[in-house]
Structure 1
Amino acid sequence: MTQPDPNSASAVQRWARNEADRTAVVYEDTAISYGELAAGVRETAALLKSGGLRTGDRVAWLGRNSASLLRTALAALHLGAIFVPLNWRLAGPELRELIEDSGVHTLLAEDEFRPTVDDIATGLPLRRHLLVDTDPHAPLAGEVPPRWTRLSTARATASAPEPAAVGFDDPALLVYTSGSTGRAKGVVITHGNLLWHDIATTAVIDSRLSDTALVVAPMFHIAGLNGFTLGTLAHGGTVVVRRAFDAERALADLVTHRVANLVAVPAVYSALAQVPGFGRADLSALRTALIGGAPVPPALVKEYTVRGIPLRQAWGLTETAPLAAILPLPLVGSHPAAAGHALPHTEVRLTDPATRARITEAGVDGEIEVRGPQVFREYWNDPEATRRAKDEAGWFRSGDIGRFDEQGLLYVVDRLKDVIISGGENIYPAEVERLLAEYPGVREAAVVGMPHARWGETPVAVVCREGEGDLTVADVRAFAGGRLARYKIPTAVVAHPLLPRTGSGKVDKPALRSWLEKKGWDAWKAGVRQGD
């Protein structure tokens, strides 16, 4: 029996043979058909192969979202190589670490980021530097050093082969985690992970052929590259790609392109709702609106519900490619805060973080573990990290804390690494943040643990608030009204005009802690424990 072909590049070529004129990508208002996309993939694959790229070699991309990024990713998969999307927000030394760790063979970069590469180029294992000068939205801005070959002048010496015959366990992507708590880890996503993720998500959403998906996340993150992107192309749909997120333009895209599927963090949905005209915009085509990656304010869910758009919570990580659980559509109204049930073919359980004893009781917190065909293969060149994260039975320790309710619905409480231990008590910042988000005028809030001489750590809230007057600890205590234990209430509330964010749109808590330290935390922390 012939094994099914899991290669995403093969699917694009099939659509090109059968319906070449169907629109595959809309990039900055330029429509690209499947025929054009497939031809571009073959041309890029031939160019990469002519440079010595072989099966299993790594191809890296350093640039913003673009059609060229998608062509390069698919060309790498076409050849059986591994695509490495690099975070363009990283500093030179951070990029150097990733390039060295992954052993990149060929790097494609936009001119905006070429100087960063030039600064770190000495001693790098790169065998080929390709400068992307074929995108009018990413023009050249100066002289090009001799190490770079312009994409417009590079020529292939042979035609592209047929898409490589790959197995389900063969690596397709190497996506690096943020590294906010230490060294970034390279997550190996296989062709099978991508295919099974598509199969599982399609089974629980109202997916149709030729659906349109809007990409609002950077495609150096798995949510941007594979949230709906590769799956939509595998189904013959259309992917709308913008180089960067702009709320007004994104709202216009949802209307103009009749977008059916969107996955985004709460900050994106909040920004869309604040655009003038949001209430009048025709969003009737938007059937699947998935939200996750950060605590979801109840007011935001209500705002979209009024518009007739149910925001369905979803949960996952880079290691789950990215989704592992989605809230069923009929339960959005009654359980808006739940992450739902595991995807088909996927198992989710809770364990004690210290002992890994199974937790089966409802309402008891534990570490979320996942097992399924979309769970990553390994951490690149890091067998010890892989061993700590995945056991021999295939269970992956997510590092997230969750609980099940009486109906078996999963609720994500917080990241294990973000838990604040104050006076021996565990405080989950997400729980406090959800309450603060309900306070009148608070646009968003983040809670971090800061050092305290007596308690070890103490919770500090950083809030963005509209209107006059600062929010105080007394205000929060009165508003909580018995909904939070006293030890969970922040001992300081600090105003911030705009919370810093990571590339994936999540609040950057290490940056917030640094900001608090620079404000003189050591000088004023002694008096923050009001009433204790």
Structure 2
Amino acid sequence: MAAVDISPTAALRRRSQLPTAPAVIYEGREISADELSRTAAEFAAGLADRGLRRGDRIAYLGLNSMTFLQTLFAAAHLGAVFVPVNFRLAADEVQHILHDCGAHTVVVEEGHRELVESVVPDVPVRCHVLADTDPQCPVAAAPGAVWTPLSDLLTSDRPVRDHVALYQDDLAVLMYTSGTTGRPKGVMLTHGNIWWNAVNVDSIVDTRSDDVNLAVAPLFHIGGLNALTLRTLVRGGTVVLRRGFDPEQCQNDLVQHRVNSLFAVPAMYAALARVPGFADADLSSLRAAIVAGAPVPPQLITDYAERGILLQQAWGLTETAPFATHLPAELTAKKTGSAGVAMPYTEIRLVDPVTGAVIQEADTRGELCVRGPNVTPGYWNNPDATRAAFDDAGWFHSGDIAHRDEDGCYYIVDRLKDMIISGGENVYPAEVERVLAAYPGVLEAAVIGVPDPKWGETVLAVLTCESGTSPTLEDVRAFTGRHLARYKLPTRILVAEQLPRNASGKLVKSELRRWVDAQRQHVESV
């Protein structure tokens, strides 16, 4: 059978020939599929004039925007590799990514221009494009000779070549992991990985061709980009695109645009639930509300279910593009807290993290391993990391610990590397965090292990609380002791204004540990 062109550029072009709703509503402006397709083709022609070729890497640094989408589709048009960069990274981290991927071109918003200029001498970038076509992001009067204005590349006087046909094994995206420890690794995602995730989602989630999807999660994150946004664009729906997440604006968008699908991390859903008027807002159109990207407190799912919204928990990583499991909406109440079952075209299994033996028994903890066409082929320029992540049978080892119930539903316990060993017993922070999140007045909870002369490690809890809530260690231990074994109970607590999270909404425990070390003299302990 002949190979099939699965280029997103081709799909967008096919859509543009049909009378559909706006492809994007960006900060109040409607953009048709034809306009997006045409602009991306013009952008691609301008980039080709500056030497960008198939397989070259083109990086984008900025917030959610039309420029982000134009860059993505222009890259696909040429068969180049798109590299979305976390806009919250420091100069040294951005330098590492641009150097590691060997970026030919970098497209930058004004707010990040000076940062990129500071690393220009140390990276191999040959073409610097400054986004100057977005009213939401005004440009400085004299940005410097190194920069080519995007508007110069978006001219119709260049011949627009046909798009490059792209197939399953062609590299689409280099997405660098959040780098909470060590240097970020470039996860290679092929067009097949991207495409098969869409097939998985459409097979099990109630998504439709005319959906309205709200994109508020960062698009440089695989969940923000490929959970629903890209699929909605190429399939015929409308993406309501916001530069960032604002809880009140999110609620207004859900109501005003009759949003059908939303991907967000737990912290976003929690913030949305605290917006005044949330209890009475008309969210009846929202039928595909997916939550993933961080541990999901069961109480959050329960709270939304009482509101009439069935949050569908999913699990995956950048390496799985992003979903490997999903809990169908009809099981939300019955299996609260479960990350669901394997996606239709993805295999899941548990293995003993020490022996590597496959775990067949229910309710037995092991490391989650994934295999399927949505799984990355490996890490860019990092064969050692690739070998460490995959076994000889091609299973990707996620580093997440989970167990499976008798019905085949998986429950994520924690990251293997975050496990606390106290007196020879394994303590999984996420298990303790779920209980702490239900303590009256606690908004968020994070647990880490701290050295203890008697037990080796014990549990320290960091809490954020509602105004007027001041939990004592005694009260916290009494509450958690009703749900957890004694060795899992916090022996020390700290109250913080907020927990450190990266731009993807994930808790950064390395930063939390540094903050705890600076606060240790104030820790109440037993």
| TM-score scaled by length of structure 2 | 0.97
Alignment of 1:54-453 (within 5 A): 54-154=53-153, 158-453=158-453
**Amino acid of the structure 2 residue aligned with 1:435:** V
Displacement of 1:509 in angstroms is: 1.4
| 8 Å Cα contact 2:91/2:115 also seen in 1 | yes
Partners in 2 of 1:104 and 1:159 — Cα distance?
Answer: 25
Displacement of 1:277 in angstroms is: 1.1
Displacement of 1:469 in angstroms is: 5.0
RMSD: 1.5
Cα deviation, 1:384-405, whole Å, max 9, x if unaligned, reads 1111111232210001000001
Q: SS state of the match for residue 491, structure 1? A: strand
Q: Which residue of 2 aligns with 1:498?
A: 498
Partners in 1 of 2:12 and 2:469 — Cα distance?
Answer: 56
Q: SS state of the match for residue 23, structure 1? A: coil
Displacement of 1:417 in angstroms is: 1.4
Residue 454 (structure 1) aligned with residue 454 (structure 2)? yes
| 8 Å Cα contact 2:233/2:239 also seen in 1 | yes
**Amino acid of the structure 2 residue aligned with 1:516:** V
Q: SS state of the match for residue 338, structure 1? A: coil
| 8 Å Cα contact 1:472/1:492 also seen in 2 | no
Partners in 1 of 2:522 and 2:445 — Cα distance?
Answer: 21
Displacement of 1:286 in angstroms is: 0.4
| 8 Å Cα contact 1:66/1:241 also seen in 2 | yes
Cα deviation, 1:254-306, whole Å, max 9, x if unaligned, reads 11111111111111111111111111111111001111222322332222112
Q: Which residue of 1 aligns with 2:463?
A: 463
Displacement of 1:155 in angstroms is: 6.2
Displacement of 1:226 in angstroms is: 0.9
Cα deviation, 1:446-469, whole Å, max 9, x if unaligned, reads 111223333332211011112435
Partners in 2 of 1:88 and 1:300 — Cα distance?
Answer: 28
**Amino acid of the structure 2 residue aligned with 1:503:** A
Partners in 1 of 2:478 and 2:151 — Cα distance?
Answer: 64
Q: SS state of the match for residue 122, structure 2? A: coil
Displacement of 1:472 in angstroms is: 2.3
| 8 Å Cα contact 2:266/2:292 also seen in 1 | yes
Partners in 2 of 1:453 and 1:91 — Cα distance?
Answer: 37
Q: SS state of the match for residue 483, structure 2? A: coil
| 8 Å Cα contact 1:298/1:438 also seen in 2 | no
| 8 Å Cα contact 2:43/2:154 also seen in 1 | no
Cα deviation, 1:16-67, whole Å, max 9, x if unaligned, reads 1233x53101100101011111111111111111110111000000100001
Q: SS state of the match for residue 121, structure 1? A: helix
| 8 Å Cα contact 2:414/2:428 also seen in 1 | yes
Q: SS state of the match for residue 13, structure 1? A: helix
Partners in 2 of 1:177 and 1:107 — Cα distance?
Answer: 19
Displacement of 1:356 in angstroms is: 1.1
| 8 Å Cα contact 1:312/1:336 also seen in 2 | no
| 8 Å Cα contact 1:50/1:158 also seen in 2 | no
| 8 Å Cα contact 2:302/2:336 also seen in 1 | no
| TM-score scaled by length of structure 1 | 0.96
Question: Where in structure 2 are there 5+ consecutive unaligned residues?
Answer: none
| 8 Å Cα contact 1:169/1:377 also seen in 2 | no
Q: Which residue of 2 aligns with 1:47?
A: 46
Partners in 2 of 1:454 and 1:115 — Cα distance?
Answer: 51
| 8 Å Cα contact 1:295/1:433 also seen in 2 | no
Displacement of 1:123 in angstroms is: 3.0
**Amino acid of the structure 1 residue aligned with 2:191:** H
Cα deviation, 1:416-442, whole Å, max 9, x if unaligned, reads 111112222211010000000111111
Partners in 2 of 1:487 and 1:261 — Cα distance?
Answer: 41
Residue 11 (structure 1) aligned with residue 26 (structure 2)? no
The count of aligned residue pairs is: 525
Partners in 1 of 2:66 and 2:495 — Cα distance?
Answer: 40
How much identity, in percent, do the aligned residues show? Answer: 51
| 8 Å Cα contact 2:39/2:154 also seen in 1 | no
Cα deviation, 1:319-364, whole Å, max 9, x if unaligned, reads 0001110002221111111111000111100001122110111111
Deviates more, 1:403-412 or 1:500-509: 500-509
Partners in 2 of 1:466 and 1:206 — Cα distance?
Answer: 36
Displacement of 1:142 in angstroms is: 4.6
Partners in 1 of 2:58 and 2:295 — Cα distance?
Answer: 34
Partners in 1 of 2:179 and 2:296 — Cα distance?
Answer: 24
